[in-house]
Amino acid sequence: MTNATDRLAEDTKDVVRSEIAALRAKVEALMAERVTPALSDVAGQAEDLANAAATMARRQTDHLANTVRAQPFAAIGTAMIAGLAIGLLMRR
């Protein structure tokens, strides 16, 4: 009786192990089929957005630099007013 019970327990363990291995293989296949391409697409979109943001920042920086070169006194006055406002706000 003990021998039969041990054999049944071993057979059950083997079946469970093989089912777990099959499920693991299915999960890995699903990850490769669906999740990995989706993550790749999202990463590509994020990279495109980051590049667009960097390009926009460069354009704005160039525009600001050109404006400061064209109107240096206005830029100095704006900086002074901004500094004064920040100083007054920090003092409170």
Average pLDDT, the chain: 89
0.85 surpassed by pTM: no
Q: Within its chain, how far is the Cα of 24 from the centroid?
A: 27
H helices of the chain, in order, are 2-30, 36-70, 72-91
Average pLDDT of span 67-73: 91
DSSP state of 92: -
pLDDT (tens digit per residue) in 6-16: 788 888 888 89
Binning pLDDT at 50, 70 and 90, where does residue 30 land?
confident
pLDDT of residue 7: 85
Cβ–Cβ < 8 Å for 63, 55: no
What contacts 67, CB < 8 A, 6 or more positions away? 75
Q: What is the pLDDT of residue 6?
A: 77
